[in-house]
Chain A
Amino acid sequence: MDVIQTHLLTKSYRDEEAVRALNLSVGQGRITAFIGRNGAGKSTTIKMLLGMVRPTAGEATILGTPISDAERSCEVRRRVAYVAENKPLYRYMTVGQMIRFARSFYGDWSAEIARKLLREYQLPADRKIKSLSKGMRTKLALLLALARRPELLILDEPSEGLDPVGIEHLLQTLVARSAEGVSVFFSSHQIAEVERIADHVCILDKGCLLVDTSLDDLRQSYRRIDLAFSSAPIGEEFRIAGVERIQTDGRHLRVFASRNADIVVERARDLNAISVEVSPVGLRDVFLETVKEN
């Protein structure tokens, strides 16, 4: 089952399309990452899913409920927790006051989880929010989201501004919640983090979904193949399904393939390549290559 599904979801602002005909599905019980450049449409998509921005066209469901269904959307939002990019919290409240304030809105609130995370995150209950560091504010926002015991946790750039220790802690928290059955959907610029914890990755660019794949498939299928021939090769010979990019430089040819690397290698041998070198491609390269091609 999918916790999020969108069909041709589109958002236009005047003459600009922020999100174009997006078909996205986020699986239950998985950690799904949403990556893209600034302004790629990630936050707009998340806000549409949460009913904070109205789509121009298309539709979407979140936990099985259409986002256009205003009546049920309230109930759904109780089962979904959202940690916004700018972590809007009341600056004049103390940590303890903020927790008590948030608690009053949610019937499912778990005081036990809140207490446990308060301890784990070493958050000072009597400190004013305005005096908290960015990392502590993120932890507080996470605590408020997790104490609600959501089925789906949506985070927009959660690691923004955190130091390496804070990031490690955040990733551990996400992994632990996932182990408890919470579905996680988060946007990030930090490709190395995504590569570590995500089951599935979606790459968004200029409002379009360019890559939608599991990290297992990505690791298994994406390859860079460097070939050398005794005379200048014809790049077009390698234009087969799965080949995303072909670069030639004299007698050398570089192929970037999202699948069928084995067929590329075989063709290279048929064409008497002098040298065939295959190397794996990390998510960073996949991201840069796809965005460049777009």
Chain B
Amino acid sequence: MFFTLTPTSGQPLYLQLMQQIRHAAETGALEDGDQLPGIRTLAEELVVSPNTVVKAYSELEHEGLLELRQGSGAFVTLKRRTRSRTDSVQAARRRIRDLVERLREDGLQDEEIRRAFEAELLYAAEAAKR
């Protein structure tokens, strides 16, 4: 399993790692019972602070996607919930793909689409607070 973290992307590295693991589980690239590298191994491999890996693993454990066993590492635990989520994520992907396709047909550049998404997400987060 390979991960790529982007330090300048404006998203905490632990969140990037969580998303990549979650994504791998949702697409089937990671299966129930698969073992992930130990904290030190992955930190050295990605050259990131071990705290980044610790945080990502423990948040995923909290979500029920990983099981951390003392001394032996992290194991993927796919529950039914994850599988049904796989379907809705895939459905959302299709809708986004359609939308992006239409925006491109309207002549928007990818970078413009990206910024528009970012602005909308920020706005939605603010609206949800109220």
Contacts and interface: CB of A to CB of B under 8 A. Distances in A.
A127 interface: no
B40 A179 contact: yes
A195 B8 CA distance: 8
B115 A172 contact: no
Number of contact residues on A: which range applies? 35 or more
Interface in B20-77: 39-40, 43-44, 47-52
A99 to B, nearest CB: 24
A195 B13 CA distance: 10
A30 B48 CA distance: 12
A230 to B, nearest CB: 18
Contacts of A168: 47
A263 B11 contact: no
A30 B43 CA distance: 13
A269 B123 contact: yes
Contact of B51 (A195, A199, A220, A276): A199
Given A176-B40, A265-B123, A282 B47 contact: no
A244 to B, nearest CB: 16
Contacts of A266: 123, 126
B49 A278 contact: no
Interface string A257-294: 00001110110010000001111111110000000000
Contact of B44 (A172, A219, A223, A283): A172
B51 A29 contact: yes
Contacts of B116: 277
| Most chain A Cβ neighbours within 10 Å, of B11, B52, B119, B125 | B119
A268 B64 CA distance: 40
Most B-side CB within 10 Å, residue of A175, A198, A215, A276: A175
Contacts, number: 92
Nearest to B53: A179
A198 B12 contact: no
Contact of A219 (B9, B43, B51, B123): B9
Contact of B47 (A175, A276, A277): A175
A179 B116 CA distance: 39
B7 A282 contact: yes
Contacts of B50: 175, 178-179
A122 to B, nearest CB: 18
A57 B116 CA distance: 51
A178 to B, nearest CB: 5
A216 B122 contact: no
Given A172-B44, A220-B12, A278-B115, A198 B122 contact: no
B66 to A, nearest CB: 18
Given A261-B122, A262-B123, A265-B119, A220 B49 contact: no
A14 interface: no
Contact of A175 (B7, B13, B49): B49
B98 interface: no
Interface in A130-179: 168, 171-172, 175-176, 178-179
A178 B49 contact: yes
B47 A223 contact: no
Given A31-B49, A263-B126, A278-B119, A179 B12 contact: no
8 contacts: A31-B49, A175-B50, A178-B50, A215-B12, A262-B122, A279-B118, A281-B10, A283-B8
Interface of A: 29-31, 168, 171-172, 175-176, 178-180, 192, 195-199, 215-216, 219-220, 222-223, 261-263, 265-266, 269, 276-284
